[in-house]
Amino acid sequence: MTKKRSKPKPDAEVGPAHRVRLPGFLVEEEVGLGDLIKRVTYVMGIKPCSGCEKRAAALNRWMTFSR
């Protein structure tokens, strides 16, 4: 038996981002998961592709890190 896959929600219907508190790790700003991955890959020397901005924006909406 196979499960039906549900369609992804449009941006307007997506709930609030998950917030993860990391006291002492961050300065004063919130950092999204997409921005964090973008910074790490840049430091490692990986060149961004055309979909990186869209992926980063989607991950930022999904999870943020705060102080």
Domain range for 39? 19-66
Residue 38: count of CB within 10 angstroms of its CB: 19
Distance of CA 11 to the CA centre of its chain: 14
Give the total number of structural domains in the chain. Answer: 1
Q: Residue 13 carries which DSSP code?
A: G
Q: Please say if the pLDDT value at position 64 is more than 60.
A: yes
Edge-to-edge strand list for the sheet holding 18-21: 18-21, 63-66, 31-32
In a domain, 47, yes or no: yes
In a domain, 23, yes or no: yes
In a domain, 40, yes or no: yes
Q: 0.75 exceeded by the pTM?
A: no
In a domain, 62, yes or no: yes
In a domain, 1, yes or no: no
- Listed range (14-18, 25-29, 43-47) with the worst mean pLDDT: 25-29
Predicted confidence band of residue 14 (pLDDT cuts 50, 70, 90): low
In a domain, 53, yes or no: yes
In a domain, 7, yes or no: no
Mean pLDDT in residue range 20-35: 72
Under 8 Å between Cβ of 20 and 66: yes
